[in-house]
Structure 1
Amino acid sequence: MDILETDAFDRRQRRNTSCVLFFFLLPFFTSAALYFYLWIPDSAPSILAAGVKAAPVLSLAFVVLSYNGWWSLLGVAGGLVMSAGGDTCLIWPKLFLPGMVCFALAHLLYALTYLTSRYSSHSSSSWGMYFFYLLLWGASAGIYIYLLPFLQKSPEPEVFVPAVGCYAFLIVLMATLAARTRASLVLLGGLIFMVSDFTLALQHFKVIEHMDYGRHIVMTTYYLAQLLIAIGDIKAKMEEQADEFRKWKRS
């Protein structure tokens, strides 16, 4: 009977939490829709433009804080705040490097979160996963090598060559640790983030002169990646609480 009660409780909790979570995510969907409606990249750089661009990610940070508490500022919520800082910097082309630093710190915070006990209890590796890690690192190295001649032609090659290399290392590290957690939403978010950043690099460093809907691809994949990472972290917290409840019921 206890098992049946626990299962029924879990189902009710998941159903109720999903409804509440969707309500909390409405500001994200609304602000993201507003961003695409106004299409900020085509407007002049301004504080208003920066606010509209960063609003969806800041709303996600608020949701993660609401579910996971203030300690999440040292994890995914903090990564989302740093990402919002990067969004703000990228509104002004001259602040591309500080923006990249903000995103690098965000990836570092995500990576550290995936090493915590909340995720490590479900993490595992197999030969198949090791092969997947190898593909991730190989793809990242290949992308960097492909970009290297264009980085060397940039206005500040002595800065961007090592900076992009460090950034590539951090984002693939984040994606690798996301895969290690076995959390599908987190892994998918990390992979989509890599696609978004690679598409942005192709355009920013003039690897391609013009890409139809290039900015649309960057921002759509970027917002989607952040959404998946945020929901994945909330889901991991809920599973941790459910495990604690089951242990309490058994005791």
Structure 2
Amino acid sequence: MDILETDAYDRRQRRNMSCSLLFSLLPFFLSAALYFYTWTPDTQASITHAGVKSAPTLLLAAVVLSWNGGQSVLGVVGGLVFSAVGDCCLVWPELFVHGMGAFAVAHLLYSLTFLSSRYSPESSSSFNLLMFLLLFLTGAGFYTYLYPFLQKAPDADLLLPGVGVYILLLTIMGTLAIRTRHTATMLGSLIFMVSDLSLALQVFKVMPPAEHGQVVVMVTYYLAQLLIAVGDVRAARSKDDYAKWKSS
């Protein structure tokens, strides 16, 4: 098989994989559409609402598990499952801290995944260092800006250190995603940061309630999780293809 035939074969394989992956993601898209169809600003907290809200994330976990197997349980699959727990907790405002804790574990699992051999990072570059610096400055600046509003919260003693740790874990996750140089993974992690920061502005009353504030948070959230899941599947496939090529 010459180089042209090999290249054509690789293109066919990537095309077939993309079609199969898209087909397996259809339940996620349908469940996300169901959430936005049923949600209204007046939606009451309930088990049903929590189930509908967390279903897209759990379906993404099932997709990643079906493609990557058990190796992803302590990685992106685990992060998606903990994110689903966080989704359920955030339905009830009194469980906000519990939800924040669940998402913190999710970010930790994502970070550990981005450090694994599945993601072969590019060598350190000035671009990486610049992005790391920008993200950490953004995280520190946002926490500083949020600090006076956290002090006014009823459970300020818990939120002041808790939110600080959470923003740190979120920032680390974003910087490690950039280190992988996988486009879907980088975009997903950065959009996740945007989603969380938008949610914080609303939860801690930094800005007045926006008409479509919750929609913005959830659209960016589902998109971020989708990109992280797809990025993990592609990273695993790329590693397997490289291993096959090396052994041939």
* TM norm structure 1: 0.96
How far, CA to CA, are the matches of 1:66 and 1:2 in structure 2? 33
1:209 counterpart letter in structure 2: P
Tell me the residue number matched to 2:194.
195
How far residue 234 of structure 1 moved from its aligned partner, in angstroms, is 0.4
Do 1:185 and 1:228's aligned partners in 2 also have CA atoms closer than 8 Å?
yes
Q: Does 1:50 align with 2:46?
A: no
How far residue 41 of structure 1 moved from its aligned partner, in angstroms, is 5.4
Post-superposition Cα deviations, 1:145-177, rounded to whole Å, max 9, x if no partner, equal 000000010001110000000000000000000
Post-superposition Cα deviations, 1:97-145, rounded to whole Å, max 9, x if no partner, equal 00000000000000000000111x2333211210111000000100000
Instruction: Note the residue ranges of structure 1 that are not aligned, 5 or more in a row.
Output: none
Q: Does 1:36 align with 2:36?
A: yes
Do 1:10 and 1:242's aligned partners in 2 also have CA atoms closer than 8 Å?
no
Q: How many matched pairs? A: 248
1:34 counterpart letter in structure 2: L
SS across alignment from 2:147: helix
How far, CA to CA, are the matches of 2:104 and 2:34 in structure 1? 26
Tell me the residue number matched to 2:73.
73
Output aligned runs, 1:6-155, within 5 Å: 6-39=6-39, 42-119=42-119, 121-155=120-154
How far, CA to CA, are the matches of 1:184 and 1:79 in structure 2? 19
How far, CA to CA, are the matches of 2:41 and 2:80 in structure 1? 20
How far, CA to CA, are the matches of 1:87 and 1:36 in structure 2? 14
How far, CA to CA, are the matches of 2:38 and 2:211 in structure 1? 18
How far, CA to CA, are the matches of 1:168 and 1:41 in structure 2? 27
How far residue 56 of structure 1 moved from its aligned partner, in angstroms, is 0.5
Do 1:190 and 1:229's aligned partners in 2 also have CA atoms closer than 8 Å?
yes
- Seen in structure 2, the aligned counterparts of structure 1 residues 223 and 33 have a Cα distance that, compared at 3 Å, is same
Tell me the residue number matched to 1:167.
166
Tell me the residue number matched to 2:176.
177
How far residue 192 of structure 1 moved from its aligned partner, in angstroms, is 0.5
* TM norm structure 2: 0.97
How far residue 5 of structure 1 moved from its aligned partner, in angstroms, is 4.2
Post-superposition Cα deviations, 1:40-74, rounded to whole Å, max 9, x if no partner, equal 65311111111000000001000000011012110
Do 1:124 and 1:182's aligned partners in 2 also have CA atoms closer than 8 Å?
no
How far, CA to CA, are the matches of 1:67 and 1:159 in structure 2? 39
Instruction: Note the residue ranges of structure 2 that are not aligned, 5 or more in a row.
Output: none
Higher mean alpha-carbon deviation, 215-224 vs 239-248, is at: 239-248
Residue identity over aligned pairs, in percent, reads: 59
SS across alignment from 2:142: helix
SS across alignment from 1:69: helix
How far, CA to CA, are the matches of 2:93 and 2:40 in structure 1? 13
